[in-house]
Amino acid sequence: MNKTNTFVPPSDRISSFEPYFFASLGKKLASLKAAGMDVIRLDMGAPDLPPENFIIDALINNARRSDTHSYTATGGSLEFKQAVAEYYMDRFEVSLDPKTEIIGLIGSKEGVFNLSQVILNPGDIALVPDPGYPVYSASGIIAGAEIYNVPLESKNGFLPDLNAIPADVLKRAKLLWLNYPNNPTGAVATMDFFEKVVLFAREHRILIAHDAPYVDVCFDGYIAPSLMQIPGAREVAVEFNSLSKTYNMAGWRLGMAVGNADVIEYLFNYKSQMDSSTFAPIYSAGVAALTGDQSWLEGRNLTYKKRRDLIVKGLRQAGFTLETPKAAIYVWAALPDGEKDSVAYCARMLEETGVSTTPGTVYGPHGEGYLRISLGTATERVEQAMQRIVKWTNGK
């Protein structure tokens, strides 16, 4: 970003940032569509299906009340935080104090970004998975910290090798990001791994930030755990969760952070200066989602599973190498033999087939050589996209 000739240049901490990848991609897709191309988007990690009607009804009914249109309490209503506690007890058998160990967020992305601001100082190191969600790195850089990329490799099941982090890095490390089920790889973590993480955090006095918005999008009988299930986790960790993926509420912007009470208070204090919380009826809908009938999620996950299977089959026919993910809404695939540049490959695919996917390098240097496909597109369009990709790759 070169703004040196502008009337008011940007601050140093954002001067090197380019627009978020999907913002830039949107302009490219709009241009192709204007030229008459039928574009199938398999890039954006957003659910295409709506929440169940009882959740929408809760929003509407509460929005019609005359007493729900003022400011909402910072960090969410007590009712919402109690619903989060109920969810954690029912889903994970974890007991949380709604008043001290839970905070509501304007989507978990807000909390992910804010955590770096309240924890990191210039000179601190944030340990960031590579590949990983770009906000982990960006938020740390904006906070003035240094980023140390922790490789996620297929040979390790896309789990970080914590023992490979150099001792001099660990001395200055203050924060370690984890994300399972994982974006972008779809990998999952075991309870044994989480136990080692908690011990690692305690030994090195590093806060663990576990980003867990995909714990309820699972397939083939797999049930994703919470880091909070590990004894002592709340002493060394916070966990982010979101209603975006679990309840198809991405645009509603509603999430939560749970865990270490001191860190929850830091987030509360920061939020009290920067936002005025979320519309109260959205919190009421969140309560309905968290405490209401959960059985509809099984059918939603079966829809995702059908799409996953279509994508896995199609990509393998097209020469990609990949594992079948047990959870999350992504398929992570190594490019066909001879292809090394994921940005160039995805651009060619888009221009020649109309299928939009995400280059792996968007998620970090160790994402090079891969692409990510989202399950958040109508099943018939997924099928069409796979037909196009197979025809395109096999016709070369």
Q: What's the pLDDT tens digit per position in 322-356?
A: 999 999 999 999 999 999 999 999 999 999 999 99
Beta bridge partners of 333: 322, 371
Q: What is the pLDDT of residue 18?
A: 73
**DSSP string covering 54-106, please?**
HHHHHHHHHHTSTTSSSPPPTT--HHHHHHHHHHHHHHH-----TTTSEEEES
Q: If we measure between CA atoms, which residue out of 144, 221, 150 comes closest to residue 179?
A: 150
Q: What is the pLDDT of residue 24?
A: 76
Q: How many CA atoms lie within 13 A of 268 on its CB side?
A: 17
Residue 108, pLDDT > 60, answer: yes
Tell me what the mean pLDDT of segment 97-116 comes to.
Answer: 97
The domain segmentation of the chain, as residue ranges, is 21-50+296-394, 53-291
Q: What is the pLDDT of residue 260?
A: 98
CA distance 366 to 362: 10
Q: If we measure between CA atoms, which residue out of 384, 372, 388 comes closest to residue 335?
A: 372
Q: How confident is the model at residue 3 (pLDDT cuts 50, 70, 90)?
A: low
Q: What is the pLDDT of residue 16?
A: 76
The answer to whether 21-50+296-394 and 53-291 have equal CATH topology is no
Q: What's the pLDDT tens digit per position in 116-126?
A: 999 999 999 99
The model's pTM is 0.94
Q: What is the pLDDT of residue 133?
A: 96
CATH class of 53-291: alpha beta
The answer to whether the peptide bond before residue 184 is cis (omega within 30 degrees of 0) is yes
Q: What's the pLDDT tens digit per position in 132-158?
A: 999 999 999 999 999 999 999 999 999
Q: 12 or 175, which is more confident?
A: 175
Over the chain, what is the mean pLDDT?
95
Q: If we measure between CA atoms, which residue out of 223, 224, 232, 168 comes closest to residue 200?
A: 232
User: Of all residues in the chain, what percent carry a pLDDT higher than 70?
Assistant: 98
Q: 396 or 234, which is more confident?
A: 234
CATH class of 21-50+296-394: alpha beta
Q: 396 or 325, which is more confident?
A: 325
Q: What's the pLDDT tens digit per position in 227-285?
A: 999 999 999 999 999 999 999 999 999 999 999 999 999 999 999 999 999 999 999 99
Residue 1, pLDDT > 60, answer: no
